[in-house]
Amino acid sequence: MTQMIYILIILLSISMILIMLNFLISKKSFQDREKISPFECGFDPISKNRLPFSIQFFLISLIFLIFDIEITLLIPLIFLFKFFNIPMILSTLLILIMLLLGLYFEYSEKSIDWKI
């Protein structure tokens, strides 16, 4: 038991020595511009002129999110087809009809137009 206490003391002292060496040796720069500024998706928060956010990129990401959720909801239904019952079929059809209506709405307002 005392041998484990000695090993624990040695390990703690080695780790404390390494931490103190790190603080002594490391270069400290409190005025470093990149380290004091938050990272915002590649935008430079220090500069005054930013490019406007693309609405087309936002719409494409929303469409991707909708279809990603669609796949997440429909994959478990494939494994449930062995139970083949009416409520499951109706819920699947309801989900698909809602997604098709959303796709029609996006098509009618030309959100899916891929031209720049």
pLDDT confidence tier of residue 10, bands split at 50, 70 and 90: very high
Contacts of 106 (CB under 8 A, 6+ apart): 63, 112
Each residue's pLDDT tens digit, 11-59: 999 999 999 998 888 766 556 666 666 665 655 555 555 556 677 777 7
The residue type found at 83 is F
Q: Does this model's pTM top 0.75? A: no
Residue 31: its pLDDT value, please? 61
